Amino acid sequence: MKLLHKDIEKDYAGQVTLMPEEAEDMWHTYNLLQVGDSLRASTIRKVQTESSTGSVGSSRVRTTLTVSVEAIDFDSQACQLRVKGTNIEENQYVKMGAYHTIELELNRKFTLAKKIWDSVVLDRIEQACDPAQKADVAAVVMQEGLANVVLVTPAMTLLRAKVEVTIPRKRRGSCTQHDKALERFYEAVMQAILRHINFDVVKCILVASPGFVKDQFISYLFREAVRQDSKVLLENRPKFMLVHSSSGHKYSLKEILSDPAVTSRLSDTKAAGEVKALEDFYKMLQHEPDRAFYGLAHVEKANEAMAVDVLLISDELFRHQEVATRSRYVRLVDSVRDNGGTVRIFSSLHVSGEQLNQLSGLAAILRFPIPDLSEPEEDSSSDEE
């Protein structure tokens, strides 16, 4: 993402012009947008014209529109962002107040105006525009009969393909069906890799599995590559890396990203950092349960005592469309920072973020233990022993 223009007043109102350059920037933009903001971007509109004789014709015109945002829709598979809203700047094609849906496009700038630019969104812009934070990793997590081909970017984990093949068990006297099905499975995974991984962008391809599936697969892959004379695969051979994982399901990605061999090679991508932070939280919960809290009420209480050392928060919470709720989270983040704590904003698209989301989206590691906060959350009935 490129920041082209930034104009923010003392009262934090203002506008920013940005240019998305890659798919991931759409995700960042999705996290910036909120209902009530106004967005100005180039878009295509179908315009109906009525000639003097009364015949109706329609044509598609490219025009720049400014809409007041009403709904935001992000497609994580295609990385497309659609913003629906009412027009607030009339032009020759579109009347005031008319509905329009803008689909943001790569390499076309857009201007976003907000009434309040808080610290969280400003951080987000900074992060999105940081060119150093680019390390694309592809991973193939597999087990016998199941493979997930995923793309891990700093802010997103995208499931590109899921291959599922039923593999008959070995039976006495006949292994042919088993072997044939395995072959078919490897073939399907290989096709998925070729189709979905862009070897120009990806720095490293992690192949992970329990047992020997990964070794078997790699030997199959390169045997086939030689046979089919596939240049792409052979040239990129050094990029493949074998890692152990306990299963072929997507959440095993967490194990892979915390593997020391991988982290050293990836030079600390955000995904790996998040996994580490969540692990620290669980370790703390195990050893000193009074120093690890989760849930909004608990974390806020801990924060009042200025005890929060590391705050883990999912970016999903900031997409909350209710202004009051959202600002509650922003206040929490700001105050943790003011008190010298670190804030880690998890991407809800990563596996670790998914887990944090399930864990109320909010967790904190404390500086010192606070006992007896274990009363139930505000919404629960208090029947403690």
Asked if 219 interacts with other proteins (CB under 8 A), we say no
Residue 66 and residue 37: Cα distance in Å, rounded?
10
Asked if 358 interacts with other proteins (CB under 8 A), we say yes
Asked if 380 interacts with other proteins (CB under 8 A), we say yes
**H or E element at residue 17:** strand 14-19
Subset of residues 261 to 280 that bind other proteins, contact rule: CB under 8 A: 279
Subset of residues 131 to 190 that bind other proteins, contact rule: CB under 8 A: 143, 166, 168-173, 175, 177-179
How crowded is the C-beta side of 321, counted as CA atoms within 13 Å? Answer: 9
Q: For the CB of residue 223, give the shortest distance to other proteins in the complex, in Å.
A: 15
**Among the residue ranges 56-64, 117-125, 248-256, 324-332, the one whose residues contact other proteins (CB under 8 A):** 248-256
Residue 106 and residue 94: Cα distance in Å, rounded?
23
Q: Toward other proteins, which CB reaches closer, 80 or 216?
A: 216
- Which candidate, 384, 325, 317, places its Cα nearest to that of 344? 317
**Among the residue ranges 31-39, 45-53, 246-254, 318-326, the one whose residues contact other proteins (CB under 8 A):** 246-254
Rg (CA), the chain: 25
Q: For the CB of residue 142, give the shortest distance to other proteins in the complex, in Å.
A: 12
Q: Are 109 and 40 in contact (CB under 8 A)?
A: no
Among 68, 111, 119, 216, binds other proteins (CB under 8 A): 216
Q: Toward other proteins, which CB reaches closer, 181 or 330?
A: 181
Edge-to-edge strand list for the sheet holding 308-314: 292-294, 362-366, 308-314, 342-346
Q: Toward other proteins, which CB reaches closer, 97 or 211?
A: 211
Q: What separation, in Å, do the N-terminal and C-terminal C-alpha atoms of the chain show?
A: 54
- Which candidate, 222, 203, 54, places its Cα nearest to that of 133? 203
Q: For the CB of residue 78, give the shortest distance to other proteins in the complex, in Å.
A: 22
Among 2, 203, 239, 250, binds other proteins (CB under 8 A): 250
How crowded is the C-beta side of 240, counted as CA atoms within 13 Å? Answer: 20
By the criterion CB under 8 A, which residues form the site for other proteins? 143, 166, 168-173, 175, 177-179, 210-212, 216, 244, 246-247, 249-252, 254-255, 279, 282-283, 285-286, 289, 294, 351, 354-360, 374, 376-377, 380, 383-385
